[in-house]
Amino acid sequence: MKTFPELPLSKVLQTNLAKHAFVEPTPVQAQSIPLQLAGRDCVITAQTGTGKTLAFVLPLLEKLLKTAAAPQAYGKGPSALILSPTRELAIQISECFSKLSAGTGIRAAVVVGGLNENAQLEAVRKGAQVVVATPGRLNDFLERKLIKLGGTHLLVLDEADRMLDMGFLPTIKRILGALPAERQTIFCSATIETSVAHLIHVHLKDPVRVAIGSTTKPAEHIALHVYEVEQDRKLGLLEKMLRDDQGSFLVFARTKHGADRLAKKLARSGSKATAIHGNRTQSQRNQALRGFQDGNYRVLVATDVAARGVHVEGIAHVVNYDLPQVPEDFIHRVGRTGRAGMRGTASTFSTREERSEIRKIERLLDMRLTPQPVPAGIEREARGAPADSPRNFPHQEKAPRQAGAHDARAHHDRGSQNKSKGAGSKGGGPKSFSTMSFAPKGRSPRRRRA
């Protein structure tokens, strides 16, 4: 399948694809959509920015149209459920759904924490055929008997590995237990580790794996640079980059307070900057993301937790102002640039004391970061602690150890769609799950996050 018109899709879906200039599918779409249309359970692994959201939304809509899905009676529940780790990702999935579902009569309800639950329940009660939800809020509704899943025959778990990282495994098991045994399940995950593999074996039936490219390496068209720089010269180096380079910057800070301080310092020096992290309200996060996407802010400073909701096209430069807590997060950070086949640059600031951490990242990637010289004349910060000094770690953003009725406070994509051919994506075709290789033991343990 080389173009979307070749797919056996309803006319209204073909019209919506053409309206939004979706002509040539990315590799993950070309390989997974026909399998899903045929009713197969699928395990999809691919790098960020390869169009995974459209890859499961499009066949889901076609299946619902073919079964003449009418507005569901409240007692029966939705026909399809899409689970995502965070509210930002759920909202972005819903936006992709809205584009493709125009004129179909199929409606989606977003069920997430941090937003008015009455409006969400009203959408469900009015017969939304699809629910896009985060595990915490959906489980809360289930426990309070405000929603039923007895009529749900299509299930998508998006970024399943991140949901498990965030402590949602018990919650997901409870949700899966409320679903009919006879259903089609699509499982999207960046990695297939032991806990993820167990879920697949228990809850999917003879799944086919679609693996595109490496999920342990950034896309080939992202330039990976590393600067060894003293902590109190990082701000000066970043300000010089902002003066010399073009385009938008996504900057990663280690802590919530550090993100706020850095954004304020950049704003004082003349950059249009804002911050996003777990202490900000949903309205503030939405405003920051929208302003960054619309170009009102050139710089977005984010923590790892909040950045899971950052799926903005055309980010020119990712800067690791502080190193990630675990090497695996490096891949997710730099994947915010170079999306949909575009080129991007990811620069990492590290101190002499952090050389061993850089080596861990390089071993994970099985590649070297390109050392860059620190330009002469970079001044030290005049006073006060650096924006996110390691000695400030007590403020580090953490997730509760047990996921409950409240959702994680932020996101991790997709919705991005390569409107050309998916340059840079490589990989084999669909495989039976029995041929999957799991992540090797001994990798750095992942922390739970909010």
Would the pLDDT of 446 be above 60?
no
Higher pLDDT, 305 or 432: 305
Q: What tens digit of pLDDT does each residue of 68-87 get?
A: 644 554 457 899 999 998 88
337: confidence class by pLDDT, cuts 50, 70, 90: confident
User: How do residues 211-223 score in pLDDT, each as one tens digit?
Assistant: 886 556 666 778 9
Per-residue pLDDT band for 191 (boundaries 50, 70, 90) equals low
Which fold, 222-388? Rossmann fold (3.40.50)
For residue 301, what is the enclosing H or E element?
Answer: strand 299-302
Mean pLDDT computed over 238-243: 96
**What is the C-alpha separation between 374 and 371, in angstroms, rounded?**
9
The arrangement of secondary structure in 4-215+428-435, i.e. its CATH architecture, is 3-Layer(aba) Sandwich (3.40)
Q: In what order do the strands lie in the sheet with 344-350?
A: 273-276, 299-302, 249-252, 317-320, 344-350, 222-228, 370-371
381 has a pLDDT exceeding 70:
yes
Q: Give dist(CA 429, CA 103) in Å, integer.
A: 33
Position 65 scores a pLDDT of 94
Does the fold of domain 222-388 match that of domain 4-215+428-435?
A: yes
- With a cut of 60, say whether residue 393 has pLDDT above it: no
Confidence band, pLDDT 50/70/90 cuts, at residue 400: very low
User: Model confidence at 395, in pLDDT bands (50, 70, 90)?
Assistant: very low
What confidence score (pLDDT) does residue 408 get? 43
Instruction: Check residues 271 and 425 and name the one with the higher pLDDT.
Output: 271
Q: In 20-151, which ranges are continuous DSSP H helix?
A: 27-37, 52-66, 87-101, 117-125, 135-143
What number of other Cβ atoms are within 10 A of residue 48's Cβ? 22
Mean pLDDT value across the chain: 83
Cα-to-chain-centroid distance, residue 96 = 14
Residues 6+ apart with CB under 8 A from 274: 263, 288, 291, 292, 297, 299, 300, 301
Cα 278 from Cα 87, distance rounded (Å): 12
Q: What are the structural domain ranges in the chain?
A: 4-215+428-435, 222-388
Crossing angle of helices 11-19 and 52-66, in 10° steps, is: 150
